[in-house]
């Protein structure tokens, strides 16, 4: 179903485009398919990856990697999500790439999200990935606790200590009693929080949902 969504997203790619590339398994499929399309159709496309993972994959698939310095306004950003609600608010950051993902999504003229149907939820309800400056962690944890949130530093079985983001920061998964998008935007304005994984629906142009029987496009 991820493949169906990624395949559909490819239909929006045009010659000459600058494409923001998100991160995660659905985007990985998109990048492989994009590489094939660019080779077959001899398209002139440049990409701006949001993680080392996507960057390496893009290069291996023959895509020309660029940056926001050269192209501060990409034409289209394609990214996955961990949860999507009915209004098209998102939670992202399962892969810890949320900060660069939010920057590239916001910089781009269009932001299209590719998900399989398991990501659609009535209400956002998972822990929110948050990128935190290591220096500030103790303070951020305390402040979030005062505001009623529970902060869990992300770890991995493959590494001792906290997971470190591509930007050299900690990633925490923050439990909220309720994911109220506007409240999160207000409450998470804490010095030391670099970015959080709630992407408000205003950022999103459309969501492509891969289903067993084909792709569904949800617009706002």
Residues annotated in a binding site for substrate: 23-26, 79-82, 92-95, 119
Nearer CB in complex with ligand 5RP: 102/143: 102
Cα distance between the two ends of the chain: 22
Which of 101, 131, 141, 195 is catalytic? The answer is 101
- Residues near ligand 5RP, by CB under 6 A: 22-26, 79-82, 92-98, 101
Nearest approach, Cβ of residue 100 and ligand 5RP (Å): 9
101 is catalytic: yes
What is the DSSP pairing of strand 64-65 with strand 46-49? Answer: parallel
- Report the 10 Å Cβ neighbour count for 63: 22
Nearest approach, Cβ of residue 118 and ligand 5RP (Å): 9
Nearer CB in complex with ligand 5RP: 90/176: 90
Q: Is the dihedral of CA 197, 17, 110, 74 positive or negative?
A: positive
Under 8 Å CB-to-CB from 95, ≥6 apart: which residues?
A: 23, 24, 51, 53
Nearer CB in complex with ligand 5RP: 35/94: 94
Show which residues are catalytic. 101
């Amino acid at each position: 179903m991820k493949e169906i969504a990624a395949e559909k997203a490819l239909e929006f790619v045009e010659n000459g485009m600058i494409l923001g590339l998100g991160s995660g398994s659905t985007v990985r499929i998109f990048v492989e398919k994009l590489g094939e399309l660019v080779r077959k159709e001899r398209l002139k496309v440049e990409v701006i990856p949001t993680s080392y993972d996507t960057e390496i994959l893009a290069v291996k698939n023959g895509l020309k990697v660029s940056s926001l310095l050269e192209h501060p306004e990409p034409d289209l950003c394609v990214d996955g999500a961990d949860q999507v609600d009915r209004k098209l608010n998102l939670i992202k950051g399962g892969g810890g790439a949320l900060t660069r993902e939010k920057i590239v999504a916001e910089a781009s003229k269009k932001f299209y999200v590719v998900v399989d149907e398991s990501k659609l939820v009535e209400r956002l309800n998972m822990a929110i990935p948050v990128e935190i400056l290591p220096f500030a962690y103790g303070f951020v944890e305390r402040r979030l606790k005062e505001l009623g949130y529970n902060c869990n530093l992300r770890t991995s079985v493959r590494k001792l200590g906290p997971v470190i983001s591509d930007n050299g920061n900690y990633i925490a998964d923050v439990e909220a009693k309720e994911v109220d998008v506007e409240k999160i935007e207000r409450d998470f304005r804490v010095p030391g929080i670099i970015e959080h994984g709630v992407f408000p629906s205003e950022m999103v142009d459309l969501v492509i949902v891969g289903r067993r029987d084909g792709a569904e496009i949800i617009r706002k």
